[in-house]
């Protein structure tokens, strides 16, 4: 497909962090000053995840009150609408925006208000994924998930676990997500981004419906077969993974291996602004670098629709749009 065809293609995005995807214009309006591109985005020669994470400081400052959160929700759907994303799951960590004057419930409601306004103006359907953070206590994470559960079906669609995977393995969070299962709250988990295949095994055991990144599964054919049979979604974020050195080179990136294993792979941006990317750019990249065919791109979009934490009505609408897009 040409760039124009890829841009016009109806698209589904499942792995997009709110703070890493705020537009420069929005951040400048919130901070009240001009911001240089290098303050917000990593360069092509980014050396590590630590360097990558430095870029979240400024956007994080923009979502510390209700006005900022509402504006952020609107801003991210506006960006997505410009490349025909028709459904997006936006993830964020409510506890990182809590203040003395704004509790977890107020944080979630403020973001939902902005997203609802964005949906109305731009026609992008959405779901919110609330992230527990690996460095937070089980008590705080549990409190957040229980609060988010109250909004399930009312804008919130799932939970997640994010943060420093290498320092806090999934084995430490089995109880938290067993409890999340009991709440009948769906969840995806960041796992296998930093080299540990065991984190993927444990995430599936805990009941994850999808895996964020999952690249440590490379070379584990039996595990790939198991997850393919279970229909578990694999949210791949190619450009981000190369920038953070989750893989050392394009040759090591397992997208073709995963597609050949019939895994339910989707392609995502991870952080639009930090990675200086769009879904169109990600699709262009995998076509050019890995020879992904037009038919495979349609399969990737169908996989995203199939594994989305959306209601049946939204899924049916997505499948109709994707079919028409052919």
Q: What is the CATH number of the domain that holds 47?
A: 3.20.20.140
CA atoms within a 13 Å half-sphere pointing along the CA-CB vector of 156: 28
Q: What is the pLDDT of residue 45?
A: 86
> Taking the CA of residue 251 as centre, how many other CA atoms within 13 Å lie in the half-sphere pointing to its CB?
0
| CA distance readout (Å), 270 to 46, 105, 140, 202, 239 | 16, 25, 25, 22, 9
The distance from CA 220 to its chain's CA centroid, rounded to whole angstroms, is 24
> Residue 195 pLDDT more than 80?
no
Give the separation between CA 161 and CA 129, rounded to whole angstroms.
10
Pick the range with the lowest mean pLDDT from 40-54, 68-82, 123-137.
40-54
Nearest to residue 13, comparing CAs of 111, 87, 120?
87
Look up residue 200 and give its two tokens: 């993927």
Q: Which residues contact 174 (CB under 8 A, 6 or more apart)?
A: 202, 205, 206
Q: Do 127 and 310 form a contact (C-beta atoms < 8 A)?
A: yes
CA-CA distance, 196 to 217, in Å (whole number)?
Answer: 8
User: Containing domain of residue 156, as a range?
Assistant: 3-324
Contact 128, 115 (CB under 8 A): yes
Torsion angle, alpha carbons of 274, 259, 83, 127, to 10: -80
Helix (H) or strand (E) holding 157: strand 156-162
Q: Is 193 a catalytic residue?
A: yes
The pLDDT score that the predictor gives to residue 50 is 80
CB atoms within 10 A of CB 140: 14
- Which residue among the candidates 89, 193, 235, 282 is catalytic per the annotation? 193
pLDDT confidence of residue 194: 85
Residue 323 phi, psi (nearest 5): -70, -45
Overall average pLDDT of the 276-284 stretch: 98
Tell me which residue of 123, 183, 133, 131 sits closest to 153, measured CA to CA: 183
Q: Which residue has the tokens 């004057």?
A: 101
Mean pLDDT score, 91-101: 97
The single residue listed with the structure tokens 């997640």 is 160
User: What pLDDT, on the 0 to 100 scale, is given for residue 324?
Assistant: 63
Residue 49: pLDDT over 90: no
Tell me what pLDDT residue 284 has.
98
- Checking if the pLDDT of 325 tops 90, the result is no
What does the pLDDT average to over 62-85? 98
Helix (H, G, I), strand (E, B) or coil at 233: strand
Per DSSP, helices labelled H in the chain are: 3-8, 24-31, 37-40, 49-53, 57-61, 66-81, 104-122, 138-149, 174-182, 197-206, 221-230, 238-243, 255-260, 279-290, 294-307, 312-324
- Of 31-35, 52-56, 244-248, where does the model show the most confidence? 31-35
Number of domains observed in the structure of the chain: 1
Query: Is the distance from CB of 49 to CB of 20 less than 8 angstroms?
Result: no
Average pLDDT of every residue of the chain: 96
Span 221-235, mean pLDDT? Answer: 98
For residue 279, name the pLDDT band (cuts at 50, 70, 90): very high
């Amino acid at each position: 497909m040409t760039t124009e065809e890829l841009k016009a293609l109806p698209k589904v995005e499942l792995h997009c962090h709110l703070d890493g995807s705020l537009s420069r214009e929005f951040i400048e309006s919130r901070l009240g000053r001009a911001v240089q591109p290098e303050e917000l985005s990593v360069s092509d020669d980014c050396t590590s995840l630590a360097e990558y994470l430095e870029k979240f400081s400024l956007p994080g400052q923009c979502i510390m009150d209700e006005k900022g959160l509402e504006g952020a929700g609107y801003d991210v759907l506006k960006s997505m609408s410009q490349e025909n994303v028709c459904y997006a799951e936006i993830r964020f960590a409510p506890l990182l925006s809590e203040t003395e004057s704004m509790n977890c419930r107020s944080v979630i409601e403020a973001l939902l208000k902005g997203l609802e306004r964005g949906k109305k103006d731009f026609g992008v359907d959405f779901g919110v994924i609330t992230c527990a953070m690996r460095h937070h206590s089980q008590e705080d994470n549990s409190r957040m998930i229980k609060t988010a559960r109250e909004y399930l079906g009312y804008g919130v669609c799932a939970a997640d676990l994010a943060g420093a995977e290498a320092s806090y393995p999934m084995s430490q969070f089995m109880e938290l997500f067993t409890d999340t299962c009991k709440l009948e709250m769906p969840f995806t988990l960041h796992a296998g981004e930093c080299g540990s295949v065991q984190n993927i095994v444990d995430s599936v055991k805990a009941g994850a419906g999808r895996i964020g990144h999952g690249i440590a599964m490379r070379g584990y054919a039996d595990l790939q077969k198991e997850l393919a049979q279970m229909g578990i979604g694999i949210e791949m974020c190619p450009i981000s993974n190369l920038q953070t050195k989750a893989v050392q080179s394009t040759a090591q990136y397992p997208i073709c291996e995963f597609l050949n294993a019939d895994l339910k792979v989707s392609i995502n941006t991870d952080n639009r602004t930090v990675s200086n990317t769009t879904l169109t750019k990600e699709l262009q990249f995998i076509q050019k670098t890995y020879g992904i065919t037009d038919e495979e791109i349609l399969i990737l979009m169908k996989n995203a629709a199939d594994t989305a934490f959306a209601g049946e009505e939204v899924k049916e609408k997505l499948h109709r749009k994707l079919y028409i897009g052919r």
